Structure 1
């Protein structure tokens, strides 16, 4: 599925709470994490930040880039690693299948994306377990923290349905 230009602006609206970059520290992030939540990160910098805080995400989706510049992902010895191809401005059916599969695996699971991971927030929000918190970076603004609810699932599904 390809991202049509007509919905690009809708995707710039955070799906959850936007924590400004200067406030995205461990103490502030923890305020948004209910007990025993299933933490999901999409993006290299967000994933690295959580690992640095000692809060290992159950599912991590990274592409080895930040703002299109190559970077070395943080090593994680006990994570199961899966690989997918997902071109920029697209969501492949393989990506959706692997995301669904990852939720039935023992965490932590890391999905390494050959291409771009940004849009994978949508299928993650649709298929994540009930007690999930999804985090991703809003470029040049901060960290988005999204509690998975029926409303969020429906909004993500509506956006996904608009893709061609």
Structure 2
């Protein structure tokens, strides 16, 4: 397991890409970049908005919460669909189970939802590392909107550099990524 050090928390305050308040605009920008690349959503509300806009993510990572509170019934019903894989990932951490399930979900033939017991907040980092170049990773920025990260070599380097500062066995946790 990797743990986010307290002194690194500030690195996550600024978004890793442009912020959108409308899923349609985000999807229009994402589709203009790469049409066949996977779309990965990190967060319940983000997943809900993408599905409502007509583009279900290829991989959704959810935990049944938004801002540490349970999502309402409408969101829960809308996002817990399709192939569900349950994983455990404690708050403030990244587990081998989450990273491994994420890699498998990206390889799956059908859209997959990873239902996290614990917290999915940091899953954006391994999602960018695991997704092929040209993919889009979307995550929620509390009280601002949805952040779109285009998977590029630069984005992968940024995520690797951040993960290198986490506490724990980095090699083991990231071993499913083959990076």
TM-score, L = length of structure 1: 0.91
In structure 2, the gaps of 5 or more residues are: 168-179
SS of the equivalent of 1:16 reads coil
Is 2:58 the partner of 1:55? Answer: no
SS of the equivalent of 2:149 reads strand
Correspondence for 1:95: 98
Contact 2:44 2:79 in 1 (8 A): no
SS of the equivalent of 1:145 reads strand
In structure 1, distance between residues paired with 2:26 and 2:62: 23
SS of the equivalent of 1:162 reads coil
Q: Report the CA distance between 1:131 and its aligned residue.
A: 2.7
Is 2:141 the partner of 1:143? Answer: no
Paired residues in the alignment total: 160
Alignment of 1:34-49 (within 5 A): 34=33, 35-49=35-49
Alignment of 1:152-163 (within 5 A): 152-163=155-166
Is 2:113 the partner of 1:110? Answer: yes
Correspondence for 1:32: 30
In structure 1, the gaps of 5 or more residues are: none
Correspondence for 2:8: 7
SS of the equivalent of 1:111 reads strand
Q: Tell me the alpha carbon deviations over residues 13-49 of structure 1, each in whole angstroms, 9 at most, x when there is no partner.
A: 2111122x3xx24145312323223111000000000
